[in-house]
Structure 1
Amino acid sequence: MVFIEQPAAWLCWDFHTLFEEDANVSLAAPKTSLVVAPNVPVFDLPIHVALEHGLFAKRGLEVTFSETYSQAGYSNPDAFKRQKESLYERRQADAYNLCEWAGLDRSERSGRGSQVQALRPAVVAQVILSFDPAIQELRDLAGVAVGINQFTGSHYTTLQFLDGALAREDIVLSHVGEPLLRYEALKRGELRAAALMEPYVSLALKEGAHIIGVNFYRGAEVVAPDLPATLRNAYLEAINEAADLINADFDRYKHYIVEPIKDRLAVHELARTFVRYAHSRPMDEARFAYTYEWMRGWQLTPGASEFSSLVVA
């Protein structure tokens, strides 16, 4: 594989007594709040829907986003300087979601410590697209730089796609970063192919691109290992219920996904084809072993960790 980098005063109060009482209450009360670092809206949709319908509050949880999703903070070459990872590492968030492979990678390298809690509800396609009529199938990508965001789903799924269709030495990846920049480089012809997810797939097809390959994949819910199990399980129950609502009326929630490019893609133009939502489920030991060995084969991990250290059993 070839990889190309692109670039007040208190009156008559016994303060000591009050402080002591408050401390005792906080020590006895279980933690019920969780702060989430934001990801691309198509992946975070179940969280948005759960917030809209009060599904966390129904379970006694207070869930908030640490800040608004920013494309500009999505693709720093150093993964731990990206928005969601840096918020988590600085303890400004307790959890976030990302692709399965990256969930293991970040948990393995986290300075704070993290684990994969489960496979996330979002089952989203990374789609290799092209405007170039000379590129019609995966075999046509031999020696052709495919635009990706390094160490994210676009990176890993492209390796999965092309390993088998091409010799490894013919696989060329180009780190372009955030999806809108990747799409614009594709449209200008600076890239002949790029891996993208929604809403950029619908935008590309609207503007004349064609599909070379589609790969649906599950992502991972990464959580702080010190969060109580009751909180983690209630959180997953809420986003699973949200997934059911999305599946029952996807059109009602499309606007969340379209938001980053709402000036270029109308809500009704977002396809239903390239995104699905299912209940989160555990990453079992067999799946971990297969995924981890695949990562090792691509030198994406030193391969020195155990299932129990990277995954919530």
Structure 2
Amino acid sequence: MTENQTIRLFHLPFSFMLPQRVAAERGYFTDEGLDVELVERDRADVDWKYIPAEERLTDEYDVDLYPICKWESLKRTWEMRDGRIVAKGTFADQPYAVFTNRDDVEDGGDLANVPVGVNKRTGQEYTAIRALERHMDPDEVVIEHHGMPTDRLRALRDGVVDAVSLLEPHSTLAERLGFTRVFEFENHMGMVGAEELDRDSLVRFRRAYARAVRDINENPDEFREAYLSMLEADEDVAPDLFEDVDVADLRAEIEVPEYETPELADREELDTHLEWMKTRDLIDGEADIGRIVARGP
């Protein structure tokens, strides 16, 4: 990839991806000689997930680099041949939380054989399964697809499901709606690059991303409005969830988390996650980490 070529970067509007937008808007990618074009989808047009489950981003969307859950990155790169994993990390000090509408659930063990609502094929299902397995036997874990965060909150409110997993800012919204936080677990992400993405471009991408991380961590209040933009978008598409909530007070309570720069992919570590997926029949037993993770320098 030459220095003058555009890198089409898929952008998720979730709060844990804020540094990506900051780096683009502040010209940090440009400073590194990268002409980055953010590829985004309008929240109003998304009724299931931002990353299409049946379309290859590196093909149909001509994307060079995209973020996605660590375990879904393993599945996508193997089953769909949608690029190779180039980086991974938690990206932000922002855990998932499981919430319930039941009074008899006090800890994770009480959710044995209780369906937990997630958004399937976004990766969070695997994260949730691993987290739930710490509290119960694997065969007692039950997850159900209940869509986007606002859809999961509606399902919880209406009693369609008794528990759901959520990230901020929806976790604080869930508490304002009266639901109980049961336990938390880390959100693990991956970065997937197209076959044509060269190592030098990735190094420069990470340097620009790191500048944005430092900016946010040093002055989080400066980025509060940008951080809360997804909450604002969801207020437009799901106004019923906000009817009995003091939105100004809700926004004031939510804090901007501390961010991290994605690390280069660790093949050995990712292989342990791949083996776990194989034991749970979550991926083809023939999946090969050598085909999934990008080659080193």
Instruction: Name the TM-score, length of structure 1 as normaliser.
Output: 0.81
Counterpart of 2:185 (choices 215, 222, 240) is 215
1:34 counterpart residue number: 7
Alignment of structure 1 residues 255-266 onto 2, 5 Å:
255-262=225-232, 263=235, 264=242, 265-266=247-248
2:239 counterpart residue number: none
What are the superposed Cα offsets for residues 201-242 of structure 1, whole Å, 9 maximum, x if unpaired?
Answer: 111122222211101132001110212222121112111221
Alignment of structure 1 residues 80-119 onto 2, 5 Å:
80-81=53-54, 86-111=56-81, 113-119=82-88
Please report how far the alpha carbon of residue 109 of structure 1 lies from its aligned counterpart in structure 2 after TM superposition.
1.8
Q: Which runs of 5+ in 1 are unaligned?
A: 1-26
Q: Which moved more, 1:32-41 or 1:66-75?
A: 66-75
SS at match of 2:188: strand
Please report how far the alpha carbon of residue 291 of structure 1 lies from its aligned counterpart in structure 2 after TM superposition.
0.7
Counterpart of 1:184 (choices 150, 154, 172) is 154
Alignment of structure 1 residues 166-185 onto 2, 5 Å:
166-185=136-155
2:36 counterpart residue number: 63
Answer whether contact 1:38 1:69 (CA < 8 A) is retained: no
Answer whether contact 2:11 2:20 (CA < 8 A) is retained: no
SS at match of 1:136: coil
Answer whether contact 1:32 1:60 (CA < 8 A) is retained: no
Matches of 2:45 and 2:106, distance apart in 1: 31
1:51 counterpart residue number: 24
Runs of 4+ aligned structure 1 residues displaced above 6 Å come to none
Matches of 1:72 and 1:287, distance apart in 2: 36
- Residue 254 of structure 2 aligns to which amino acid in structure 1? L
- Residue 8 of structure 2 aligns to which amino acid in structure 1? V
Q: Which moved more, 1:226-235 or 1:256-265?
A: 256-265
- Residue 35 of structure 1 aligns to which amino acid in structure 2? R
Counterpart of 2:128 (choices 158, 176, 184) is 158
- Residue 204 of structure 2 aligns to which amino acid in structure 1? A
2:238 counterpart residue number: none
Matches of 1:211 and 1:285, distance apart in 2: 34
SS at match of 1:235: helix
Distance change >3 Å, CA 166–CA 120, structure 1 → 2: closer
Please report how far the alpha carbon of residue 31 of structure 1 lies from its aligned counterpart in structure 2 after TM superposition.
4.5
1:20 counterpart residue number: none
Matches of 1:288 and 1:161, distance apart in 2: 17
Matched, 1:142 2:108: no
Q: Which runs of 5+ in 2 are unaligned?
A: 236-241
Answer whether contact 2:12 2:40 (CA < 8 A) is retained: no
Matched, 1:126 2:96: yes
User: Percent of aligned pairs with the same residue?
Assistant: 24
What are the superposed Cα offsets for residues 129-179 of structure 1, whole Å, 9 maximum, x if unpaired?
Answer: 123222121111122110001133431121112214222232211101111
1:287 counterpart residue number: 269
1:18 counterpart residue number: none
SS at match of 1:88: coil
Distance change >3 Å, CA 69–CA 93, structure 1 → 2: farther
Distance change >3 Å, CA 157–CA 166, structure 1 → 2: same
Instruction: Name the TM-score, length of structure 2 as normaliser.
Output: 0.85
- Residue 161 of structure 1 aligns to which amino acid in structure 2? A
Q: CA RMSD in A?
A: 2.4
